[in-house]
Structure 1
Amino acid sequence: MSPANPFTRRKDRIDELAATAASPSGGIAEAGAVDEKPGVSLIASAWSRLKRSPVFLLGAGITLVFVVLALVSPLIAPHDPAAGLLLDQVRPQSNPVPGPQDGFPLGADSRGRDLLSRLLVGSQQTLIVGVFATITGLAGGLSLGILAGAFGGWVDALVMRVVDVMLSIPSLLLAFSIAAVAARPSQVTVIIAVAAVQVPVFARLLRGSMLAQRSSDHVVAARALGVTERAIVFRHMLPNSLAPVIVQSTLVLAVSIIDAAALSFLGLGNPNDRQPEWGQMLGRAQTYIYDYPHLAIYPALCIIVVALGFTLMGESLREALDPKSRR
């Protein structure tokens, strides 16, 4: 019996593979099957990565402890932060700063006030200044960013030139200049000064995000369907541009706390030291920095640790939400 024609063998092999693939239990069909899984949103995907990030967990832990302490500090403070309970122990020549003792684990300041209580209550004032300065700066930056990103043209050019001028001035110098203009330093002037520094940061970031959204498919489709420009801006462009701005706000909060502490350190904060604030405490401790450095070390460490917590959390959020920076 003569061997089969090579073309016949090839045809038979193709028919065999086709029959196997067409069968419900065919090997090729099983090998090529895809195990379909439900889709995951961007937030859920980011959260799954953040839960495994030790950097985020550390930053979130520091931030959570700081916020909780700031909220409950008036309740857990062992003494009234404005009461000079150890004033009778203050000796300007021999003992200007009472040291640690029973009921006063960190000692007192030069006016006999409990240092631990002032640190705890000062966290609340620091949180208030940082949060309100960030919210105010965010509101101003959103207004300018929406104007520049939505209208474009000469409006965009005008807004961005103003933003460029503000960015050309060092942030602390700009905040110092704004706070110095006030007739009387107060907590409100510090909030306004720090917020003014953050406005151009938010405006530039939002403007860039909205310009990227102007040419996206869903915006082009909405404009082709006759949707009004106002609806396009506030229902399509703005919601899809807020993610990087929200992430930036966590980083700005850390900067706001540092800038507010710097202004209070320079004497441009709240002059009433019956309401303690970490930057204010740091400034008043300079008189005794050589003999009693702990008066400056404690508030300085509080500022550093809290700013580090917000920074670590913000950087982790940026990496989780930005595909370009994911590891």
Structure 2
Amino acid sequence: MTRKKERIDELATAAAGEGQVADAGAVAGGEGTSLWASAWRRLRRNPIFIVGAVLTLLVILLAVFAPLIAEHGPTDRILADKVSRSSNPVPGPEPGSLLGADSSGLGWDLFSRLVYGSRMTLVIGFAATLAGFFGGLVLGTLAGAFGGWVDSVVMRIVDVMLSIPSILLATAVATLFGDPSNLTLIIAIATVQIPIFARLLRGSMLAQRSSDHVLAARSLGVRRGAIVRRHMLPNSLAPVLVQATLVLATAVIEAAGLTFLGLGAATNDVPEWGQMLGESQAFFDSFPHLAFWPAGCIIVTALGFTLMGESLREALDPKSRR
């Protein structure tokens, strides 16, 4: 036994001398990193994430600094004297008006309305996603934490909502309100997002129910509410937060689609890209740029959120780590 102990000490000392073991109980390679820190390290080297982040940041800056970027207000009739229904319904670009007039026939500046339109589009997208996230958080937590008949009832409701095409469900909810507005638009889009978050969170929480730390907490007599708040829910939010980034892109597109159909605000004093796209239909043959610019803004915004969400999902997925 003495000889074996001496031999083990010799091997440990030799390994430490070669830099393989620095100390008893220490792991070679330094301290460990958290999941989010490791994901951020990979994201910084991912060109797809960088492109998505740049596009998203540009749109956000456009919305925040709209008064500084746009030379005119969204309802300033700077080209009213140039509008002629018969010969010149949409005046073209000129000094002080980068893209010319919009399709309203009131002489509003198209570039200024595009810049200010980013505000309403992002507000609708963020608000709808946030409302859908909290709604799904409640339903997913109930289903994943309690299980049994609560899980069955919640999931059957979610299944019914998921069986209806999203744009059809959002349209049905929006038409329930007699007076369409941006608030009703947010409610309609959030209703579509709730079952997505609920199902994803419920699956994550079911995986957490059989984990070692949850079983240990139960064996120590910790109450179910405390286990859900302190252990199950925090460890289940990562995939839901990633999904929220992807849903933002969907919310922007759905908001544009519903306003295109006339289910948004009744007036166009506050511009929104989908509404501008719908108003350009009457002039599409002669002035296609009226549809090109708002459609391009919608595509770029949705692309930015999608690239960021997909990159974040891959960075947090253990199977895709290299």
Q: What band does the TM-score fall into relative to the shorter chain?
A: over 0.9
State which of 244, 250, 255 in structure 2 corresponds to 1:249. Answer: 244
Aligned length: 310
Q: Does 2:184 correspond to 1:195?
A: no
Distance 1:142 1:19 in 2: 57
SS in 1 for 2:235: helix
Which range moves more in the overlay, 296-305 or 107-116?
A: 107-116
- TM-score, length-scaled by structure 1: 0.91
- The answer to whether the Cα contact below 8 Å between 1:21 and 1:29 also exists between their aligned partners in 2 is no
Distance 1:188 1:23 in 2: 71
- Equivalent residue, structure 2, for 1:33: 20
Distance 1:178 1:74 in 2: 34
- Equivalent residue, structure 2, for 1:177: 172
Pair 32,85 (structure 1): closer, same or farther in 2 beyond 3 Å: closer
- Equivalent residue, structure 2, for 1:64: 57
Gaps spanning 5+ residues in structure 1: where?
A: 1-14
Pair 232,298 (structure 1): closer, same or farther in 2 beyond 3 Å: same
Which range moves more in the overlay, 140-149 or 61-70?
A: 61-70
Distance 1:146 1:287 in 2: 48
- Equivalent residue, structure 2, for 1:118: 113
- The answer to whether the Cα contact below 8 Å between 1:145 and 1:205 also exists between their aligned partners in 2 is yes
Q: Does 2:279 correspond to 1:284?
A: yes
State which of 195, 218, 237 in structure 2 corresponds to 1:223. Answer: 218
- The answer to whether the Cα contact below 8 Å between 1:59 and 1:313 also exists between their aligned partners in 2 is yes
Q: Does 2:86 correspond to 1:86?
A: no
How far is the alpha carbon of 1:153 from its aligned partner?
A: 0.4
SS in 1 for 2:63: helix
- Equivalent residue, structure 1, for 2:316: 321
Gaps spanning 5+ residues in structure 2: where?
A: 22-27
SS in 2 for 1:79: coil
Give the partner amino acid of 1:50. Answer: L
- Equivalent residue, structure 2, for 1:265: 260
Pair 98,225 (structure 1): closer, same or farther in 2 beyond 3 Å: same
Q: Does 2:292 correspond to 1:301?
A: no
- Equivalent residue, structure 1, for 2:131: 136
Please tell me whether Structure 1 or Structure 2 has the larger radius of gyration of its CA atoms. 1
How far is the alpha carbon of 1:44 from its aligned partner?
A: 1.2
- Equivalent residue, structure 2, for 1:51: 44
- TM-score, length-scaled by structure 2: 0.92
- CA RMSD across the alignment: 1.7
Structure 1 runs of 4+ off > 6 angstroms? 18-21
Give the partner amino acid of 2:176. Answer: V
- Equivalent residue, structure 2, for 1:234: 229
Q: Deviations over 1:222-268 (max 9, x none)?
A: 00000011000111100000000001000000100000000000000
State which of 35, 43, 50 in structure 2 corresponds to 1:42. Answer: 35
Distance 1:322 1:244 in 2: 9
Q: Sequence identity of aligned pairs in percent?
A: 62
